[in-house]
Amino acid sequence: MNTHQLVVGALIVAKEVKHMGRNRKQTSAKVVSKASKILTDGRYGKDSKSVAASALAQTKPLKRGK
């Protein structure tokens, strides 16, 4: 594969990525509550805490008033 083919391939991939849609789904309040409890409870393992952290990362940020 020559340089030209690599550049053309990279441009095609970049164009495809540009058109990907956004995931607008948010974690529900019930799941957020359980995830928070899992993260603060020492009885849960690393994998459980990793999943809980991932769920919290997908929540809608709180709007804080001034």
Question: Would you state the pLDDT for residue 64?
Answer: 74
Whether 62 has a pLDDT exceeding 90, the answer reads no
> 28-64 b/e with 16+ CB inside 10 Å = b?
eeeebeebeebeeeeeeeeeebeebeebeeeeeeeee
pTM for the model stands at 0.56
Q: Cα dist. 59→6, 25, 50, 53, 65 in Å?
A: 39, 9, 15, 10, 18
Question: Would you state the pLDDT for residue 35?
Answer: 93
Question: Would you state the pLDDT for residue 26?
Answer: 81
Kindly report, residue by residue over 13-56, the tens digit of the pLDDT: 555 555 556 767 788 889 999 999 999 999 999 999 999 999 98
What are the extents of the domains in the chain? Answer: 26-60
The DSSP secondary-structure symbol of 19 reads: T
